[in-house]
Amino acid sequence: MQYIVMDMEWNTAYSKKLGGFMNEVIEIGAVKLNDALEELDAFSVIVKSQVGKRLQSRVKTLTHLTNEDIANGVSFQTAIRQFSDWVGSEENIFLTWGDGDIRTLIKNHIYFLGQDILPFVCNYADVQKYCQSFTDVAGSGQQLGLSAAAEKLGINPDAFPHHRALDDSRLTVACFRRVFDAEKLKKYVYRCDTDFYARLAFKPYYITDLNNPAVDRRAFYCLCDMCGGKVRQEKKWKHTNQSFRTEFYCKTCDRHFRVCVRFKQLYDGVEVKKTYSEIVAESEEKSAVPTVTESTKS
């Protein structure tokens, strides 16, 4: 088994063909590691942009790549052939910091080669998710940037200063080595089958129609979040701001409170988020202070 730690740089450009903006890959960098995480080889290629003619200033500042560098690069088609040859035919696990790089690579692959799978990628793991699970933001839903994560793991990111694709791959490798545990990694690794690509292409959205069969109406049943007793609903459920809300009154506690229920359709289920907030009467106005939030996934 080989690990391919990959990073890319891209430039956002308007595509006439798509009628919208796309992230065009301008550099691919990668490091190949064996089972013991020893570096076997490194890869770096600059891709000649075909959609965007000029680099965004943000990209120039971050990467120190110039318009001239990009003009002298190879086409995406050639870059992918070289990269695929370099990856080779041994069983691999691709690792990227967040899934943005792999999504962008797939989109470019579709755009330039008309193929929606990456034949040289056997397995994939989001190394950001994996590394974060060893830090104090684990389970918070927060996403750490590579440099911030490196610092939390006791690595000085300034030792990898250029933000070119290969530098960022090497910094990712340093983070990965610090927390590597083959057993723990397993639950982050996905086989790159059709389900994997469908999951990656799926865009989560909030359900706004109560008649959607995915909506579990039991989520609207509420008890007092202070005493657990039965409550009186004071208003009809109303849809605002991607969630459904209403107000309740608890006789036992003599208090009014608001409940917000939000349904998010994920690839493999619906996530329900229910928030209780206090309604405090301030002269004529009412303001709400969130008290409890509960999340469930079905």
User: Which stretches of the chain bind Zn ion, using CB under 5 A?
Assistant: 224, 226-227, 229, 250, 252-253
CB of 220 to Zn ion, least distance (A): 18
Q: In angstroms, give the least distance from the CB of 197 to Zn ion.
A: 49
Report the C-alpha gap between 131 and 98 in whole angstroms.
Answer: 10
- As given in the structure block, the two tokens for residue 29 are 């960098």
Phi-psi category of 167—alpha, beta or left, where left has phi over 0 and alpha has psi -120 to 50? alpha
CB of 278 to Zn ion, least distance (A): 12
Residue 113 or 227: the one with the smaller Cβ distance to Zn ion is 227
C-alpha separations of 293 from 203, 217, 246 in Å: 24, 18, 15
Q: Shortest Cβ distance from residue 15 to Zn ion (Å)?
A: 56
Note every long-range contact of 111-117, with CB atoms under 8 Å and residues 24 or more positions apart, other chains counting: 111/15, 111/17, 111/18, 111/22, 111/51, 112/50, 112/75, 112/76, 112/77, 112/80, 113/76, 113/77, 113/80, 116/197, 117/192, 117/197
* Residue placing its CB nearer to Zn ion in the complex, 190 or 249: 249
Nearer to Zn ion, 159 or 227 (CB): 227
Q: How far is the CB of 216 from Zn ion (least distance, A)?
A: 24
Describe the chain by its helix, strand, coil percentages, rounded to 5.
Answer: 30, 35, 35
Nearer to Zn ion, 200 or 253 (CB): 253
Closest CB to Zn ion among 208 and 252?
Answer: 252
